[in-house]
C-alpha cells in the first residue's frame, strides 16, 4: 500500500482537469484528462494530456491541439 504522506505530497504538486473537448484532429468529442505538475514554488509545467477517450487504452500521444482550449478554460 502506498505511503499516505507521499500520495498527499504528489497530489499537492499536481493539478488535473477533466473535460469534454472537441478534438480538432479527429473532429469528435473527446473526454480528456489533462495534468500539470509544480516544479518549483512559482513554476508549473505546461498542460499534458494523460488520458483521452478517442485513443486506445494506455495510449495518450496525439497532436494535443485541444490543450489550447483547455488552457483558456483553466484561466
Grid coordinates given for 11: 497530489
Buried b (16+ CB within 10 A) or exposed e, 35-46: ebeeeeeeeeee
Contacts of 67 (CB under 8 A, 6+ apart): 34, 46, 47, 48, 49
Domain that holds residue 67: 4-74
Tally of domains in the chain:
1
Output the pLDDT for position 31.
Answer: 92
Output the pLDDT for position 75.
Answer: 57
Residue with cell 505530497: 9
pLDDT by residue for the chain (75 residues), tens only, comes to 677 887 777 778 888 888 898 888 888 999 988 888 888 888 888 888 888 898 887 676 777 777 776 676 665
Answer yes or no: are the C-beta atoms of 14 and 32 closer than 8 Å: no
Amino acid at each position: 500500500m502506498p505511503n499516505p504522506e507521499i500520495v498527499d505530497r504528489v497530489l499537492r504538486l499536481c493539478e488535473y482537469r477533466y473535460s469534454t473537448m472537441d478534438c480538432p484532429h479527429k473532429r469528435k468529442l473527446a473526454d480528456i484528462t489533462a495534468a500539470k505538475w509544480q516544479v518549483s514554488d512559482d513554476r508549473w509545467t505546461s498542460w499534458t494530456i494523460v488520458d483521452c477517450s478517442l485513443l486506445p487504452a494506455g495510449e495518450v500521444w496525439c497532436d494535443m491541439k485541444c490543450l489550447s482550449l483547455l488552457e483558456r478554460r483553466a484561466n
